[in-house]
Amino acid sequence: MSEVWYNDLAFDPEFLSARRSDGTKIRFTRQERALLGALTRRPKSLLSRDRLLAALSNGHGETGERNVDLLITRLRAKLGDKARNPRFIATQYGEGYTWIAKENAPPQDDAFLLIGPVYGLSGRAGPERLILGMLTAALDRTIGRGRRVVNAAHLRFDASQLPAVPFTLEVSFHDDGAALQAAFVLRGGPSRHIIAAHRVSFDRSGIKAETDRVASAIKAALWQHLAKPPIDLPLAPTDLPMELRLHEAARMLTRADESWRESEAQLARARAVRPDDPELAVMWALYLYTRLVQPAAGEPLPTQQQWAEIEDTMETLALEHLPAVQDKPLLVLAIAKVLFFIDRGHMQLAAALAEDVFAKTTGFAAAFAMRAQICMCLGEFGEALALYDRGIELSEHRSEFHLYLLVLKCTALAAANDRALLEKTSGQLFALNAPLRLKIGLYFCDPVAALPPDQEAVLASIAAAQAQAMLDFLFKVGARHFQAREHRRNVMAGLTSHLVRRFGREIMPEHIARAIYAPASPSASAKVRLRSARQ
């Protein structure tokens, strides 16, 4: 059975505990549970002290009329109730107590998924409520932090009365004598359009396993709805690029820190069902991109060979499926992103694809981001910065897209060696998301100025192997895409300078030194690296 709400508290069906709407948990003793059970079984009815005393005696505790009053006082304190202005338990002086709280709906204003309306409930103790409670718990465990799943099974409302929540799950039950039949219809937003529908037969021996399968199917349908671009709607000016749609969808539906893990699981499941789907193939290429630019905490970066093999797969998927998705703007931009990122001579094709999408659709924000990256890597910094600023204007303040564009703008400013504007823009970025300062601050730091104390502490905590990995990562996800050696060198300058100061010039991997400094003998190359780090 699912939780029962009275006022702002959700009670466990056995009254083991209660939960406030902010998540705070209240635990009850055995005697308090006995009192709650007796009072709530007969709401609005006066229960004498003798009647409550009998309930407490069944709980095997020390009893007496005075003990009833003390327990009621303690219970009120836990519930946040007051004797003079009661919301849960009213006192009839000289006679007893009454449970006055009315069973109500859980708070729904901040629900991510509302389970309701529900039809065909057979009774308070029926298997339907057990299924709904288990389904609510299964979804609530797996959907992202801060996104509540609310079971509103006991509410009676039609479509016009449904609260404005992102998603609803309409449920109907029917016992045909052989099994309990159930239909689950997932609907999205105020439009109430159907996203997915599932029919399930429950028998009493397999309720949990079947309920878990339903929860998994609902989560997969939510992910596909959030991640895949709409096929029958034109792009809106503020629509996100595909890589951020994937990230946002995964972030909403996982409690893991790496969003790509959720994308991997959901895409693998979808591709197993539809292995020839070109949209899923392009999304898989973009997922591989995400794996490279968002490495898991504590895991080593791929080796040079592994990185090359991943990029081989990305390139094959992008080029092979481009003809099949050429009328889907977000997927075309995704292919442009992949071809741009792997840096294998596809810059002109990526630029043409981005230009074509921009010319044919209203998806300005997504196209601005791709066009700006190409412009900056060609050294057209004025145009790139203008495009980033226009994209920022279209993005939601503090959103992932807003932060993403600011990071890219900082990269452009680093490449252009505009230290004053870079300091201002990175300050804006870190004011919006303070943890980013310690995570990526060294990538945008001044190569000649002293580091602030917090970033100096980060530098001091870095081991040599980690330092080389950081240099390799910055080069692969940022510097290598710039056509001019000077711009690649500028992108690497801040991090290189301070890592050389800490570890010496040999910290720089040779393949990066060759790419960002003038070709020279190993000894001369080392001198160039050191001189650059000191400039």
Nearest by Cα to 497 from 527, 461, 470, 533: 533
**Co-location of 129 and 191 in the same domain:** yes
Half-sphere exposure of 524 (CA within 13 A, CB side): 6
Instruction: Say if residues 182 and 172 touch (Cβ distance below 8 Å).
Output: yes
**Co-location of 115 and 97 in the same domain:** no
**Co-location of 29 and 121 in the same domain:** no
**Co-location of 509 and 473 in the same domain:** yes
DSSP string across 391-426 = HHHHSPTTSHHHHHHHHHHHHHHHHHT-HHHHHHHH
Structural domain contains residue 202: yes
Residue 526 is predicted with a pLDDT of 35
**Co-location of 117 and 197 in the same domain:** yes
**Neighbouring-strand partners of residue 44:** none
**Neighbouring-strand partners of residue 48:** 96
**Which of 48, 77, 103 is the last residue in one of the domains?**
103
The residue count of the chain comes to 535
**Co-location of 177 and 222 in the same domain:** yes
How many angstroms separate the CA atoms of 90 and 47, rounded? 11
Q: What is the pLDDT of residues 439-485, one digit of tens each?
A: 999 999 999 999 999 999 999 999 999 999 999 999 999 999 999 99
Instruction: Say if residues 335 and 327 touch (Cβ distance below 8 Å).
Output: no
Burial of 501 (0-12, 13-18, 19+ CB in 10 A): middle
What's phi and psi for 534, nearest 5 deg? Answer: -90, -15
Q: What is the pLDDT of residues 486-510, one digit of tens each?
A: 999 999 999 999 999 999 999 999 9
What's phi and psi for 32, nearest 5 deg? Answer: -65, -35
Structural domain contains residue 432: no
Structural domain contains residue 90: yes
**Co-location of 116 and 218 in the same domain:** yes
**Co-location of 125 and 198 in the same domain:** yes
Instruction: Say if residues 508 and 472 touch (Cβ distance below 8 Å).
Output: no
Domains in the chain, number:
3
Structural domain contains residue 138: yes
Structural domain contains residue 519: yes
**Which CATH number do you get for residue 214?**
3.40.50.11830
How many angstroms separate the CA atoms of 371 and 358, rounded? 9
**Co-location of 142 and 223 in the same domain:** yes
Residue 214 is predicted with a pLDDT of 94
Nearest by Cα to 471 from 493, 450, 452, 455: 493
Residue 36 is predicted with a pLDDT of 92
SS3 61: coil
**Which CATH number do you get for residue 92?**
1.10.10.10
Q: What is the pLDDT of residues 141-169, one digit of tens each?
A: 777 666 788 887 766 555 555 567 889 89
**Co-location of 135 and 87 in the same domain:** no
**Which of 227, 250, 285 is the last residue in one of the domains?**
227
Residue type, position 61, single letter: G
Residue 143 is predicted with a pLDDT of 78
**Which of 192, 227, 262 is the last residue in one of the domains?**
227
How many angstroms separate the CA atoms of 291 and 471, rounded? 18
Measured N-to-C along each axis, helices 49-58 and 30-41 cross at an angle, to the nearest 10 degrees, of: 130
Residue 109 is predicted with a pLDDT of 55
Angle at 225 between CA 219 and CA 227, to 5 degrees: 95
Q: Mean pLDDT across the chain, nearest whole number?
A: 84
Instruction: Say if residues 151 and 3 touch (Cβ distance below 8 Å).
Output: yes
SS3 17: strand
Structural domain contains residue 517: yes
**Co-location of 119 and 206 in the same domain:** yes
DSSP summary character for residue 331: H
Residues of the chain with pLDDT under 70: 1-2, 21-23, 58-65, 105-110, 123-125, 144-146, 154-163, 190, 229-240, 243-260, 362-363, 518-535
**Co-location of 99 and 121 in the same domain:** no
Q: Find the domain containing 40 and state its range.
A: 4-103
Residue 124 is predicted with a pLDDT of 58
Structural domain contains residue 503: yes
Judge if pTM exceeds 0.75. Answer: no
DSSP string across 272-313 = HH-TT-HHHHHHHHHHHHHHHHSPPTTPPPPPHHHHHHHHHH
DSSP summary character for residue 256: S
Structural domain contains residue 413: no
Six token digits for residue 98: 């009454």
Residue 520 is predicted with a pLDDT of 41
Strands (E), 428-497: none
Residue 63 is predicted with a pLDDT of 55
